[in-house]
Amino acid sequence: MPRVDLATRDLRTMALGARSVDYILVRRRGRHGVGFKVDSHGLTVSAPLTMPVSRIEELALLSERWILRKIAEWSARRVAPMEWSEGVALPYLGQTLALRLSRAPRAHVALGDGELHAAVRETSPAAIERAVVAWYKRAALAHLAGRAFTLARIAGLMPPRVMLSSARARWGSCNTRREVRLAWRLVKARPELIDYVICHELAHLRHMNHSGAFWAEVGRQCPGYARLRDELFATDHLYRSF
């Protein structure tokens, strides 16, 4: 039987404080109450399917200070676009690599002595970015899959299938098919933060929720995870520049 989508999405604007705020209104059949979420995509408002927009925005006004504060926090976390040029600093496993550029008939990127050597056919920013991102994805899959295998064995779990995602606001996910998706940009973070995210997803192999038992499992696999979680939240904007 085909799956019926019971949610609708609508881009709208409302006045909060002295400014107009764009938001995504998600209406879902069976939902009770109104929820607000602010992330890298902006403000998302979740509401019952039949609730009038006027009532939804009245409730948003009651949370006006919280919403505007969160929007300001996310705006402060945004970083300038990457400038793809000789010597630019690139984050990798908590360290900084200097980009070294050269010309070659075929694109080739290699790591060596704290530098990332990118040989490209043309030195346009788009061509450099394509070559470097392709290298990051290869490096990410090798490192993330390797750590997932090791940490799963330590936790007494059968290693899951590991795949990459291009998500910017969600570092990982896990499903009931024992598939773990990890954002390739995570490879820019220091190894301890990477291990925390992997342990978080591995814990879902035992508890497909965020219950107390789930967090206890995260703590068993990754002692001191709360400190690492807070650090990742405070620094993750550094990993989203490309």
Q: What whole-number distance in Å separates Cα of residue 179 and Cα of residue 81?
A: 32
Query: Which H helix or E strand runs over 20?
Result: strand 19-28
Per-residue model confidence (pLDDT) at position 206? 95
Q: Residue 87 burial (CB < 10 Å; 0-12/13-18/19+)?
A: exposed
Per-residue model confidence (pLDDT) at position 21? 87
Is residue 73 within 8 Å of residue 234, measured between CB atoms? Answer: no
Longest C-alpha distance within the chain, in Å? 61
Q: How far apart are the first and last CA of the chain?
A: 40
Provide the token pair at 29.
């059949």
- Give me the average pLDDT of each 10-residue run along the chain (242 residues): 56 85 87 88 88 93 89 74 91 96 92 94 92 96 98 96 85 90 95 97 92 94 92 79 82
Q: What are phi and psi of 30, to 5 degrees?
A: 90, -10
- Domain boundary assignment for the chain: 7-77, 89-239
Helix (H, G, I), strand (E, B) or coil at 36: strand
Q: What whole-number distance in Å separates Cα of residue 178 and Cα of residue 175?
A: 6
Per-residue model confidence (pLDDT) at position 158? 95
DSSP-assigned beta bridge partners for residue 164: 182
DSSP-assigned beta bridge partners for residue 116: 99, 111
Comparing CA positions, the residue from 208, 206, 198, 204 lying closest to residue 228 is: 198
Q: What whole-number distance in Å separates Cα of residue 214 and Cα of residue 185?
A: 25
Per-residue model confidence (pLDDT) at position 3? 43
- CATH classification for the domain delimited by 89-239, as one of 3.40.50.150, 3.30.390.50, 2.40.30.70, 3.30.2010.10: 3.30.2010.10
Per-residue model confidence (pLDDT) at position 155? 97
Phi-psi region of 146 (alpha: psi -120 to 50; beta: other; left: phi over 0): alpha
Per-residue model confidence (pLDDT) at position 235? 79
Query: Which H helix or E strand runs over 126?
Result: helix 125-154
Residue matched to tokens 């080739």: 108
| pTM tops 0.85 | no
Per-residue model confidence (pLDDT) at position 5? 45
